[in-house]
Amino acid sequence: MAVTISLALLFGTLLAVLLRTGAIKAGSGFVAVMFGFYLASTGASGPVNELSAAVVHALNGLF
């Protein structure tokens, strides 16, 4: 649960920075957010969560 909240905060912050700097526009940001919501409700959510957990576990092993 803590990893999920941290990753959501990280990706939310990254999206906000990209919108603020003009790297992506508001329409693209909206599409990115909606894609995340719809992806979370599909069968792909399990593998995405497992991949995220594996990356976090690997990063913890480095430090």
Domain spans of the chain, in order of start: 2-62
Q: What is the pLDDT of residues 8-30, one digit of tens each?
A: 778 888 888 888 898 888 888 88
Q: How many CB atoms lie within 10 A of CB 3?
A: 13
Full-model pTM = 0.58
27-63 pLDDT per residue, tens:
888 888 888 888 888 888 888 888 888 988 998 888 7
Six token digits for residue 38: 């719809």
